[in-house]
Amino acid sequence: MQDIERFLLGFRQFQQRLFGIEHDRFADIKQGQHPQTLVVACSDSRVDPAILTESHLGDMFVVRNVANLVPPCEQSEANQGVSAAIQFGVCQLQVKQIIVLGHAHCGGINALMHGRGEQVAADDYLGKWVRIAEPARVQVKQALSHKTIEEKCKACEMAAILVSLDNLMSFPFIAERVAAKTLTLYGWYFDIDAGSLTGYDPQSGSFRSLVASLDKKAVTGHDLTW
List the catalytic residues.
42, 44, 46, 103, 106
- Helix 149-168, helix 134-143: angle, nearest 10: 140
* Cβ-based neighbour number of residue 165 at 10 Å: 18
The C-alpha torsion from 56 through 58 and 64 to 68, rounded to 10°, is -80
Q: Convert the chain into a string of H (helix), E (strand) and C (coil).
A: CHHHHHHHHHHHHHHHHHHHHCHHHHHHHCCCCCCCEEEEEECCCCCCHHHHCCCCCCCEEEEEEHHHCCCCCCCCCCCCHHHHHHHHHHHHCCCCEEEEEEECCCHHHHHHHCCCCCCCCCCCHHHHHHHHHHHHHHHHHHHCCCCCHHHHHHHHHHHHHHHHHHHHCCCHHHHHHHHCCCCEEEEEEEECCCCEEEEEECCCCEEEEEECCCCCCCCCCEECCC
Give me the count of residues in the chain.
226
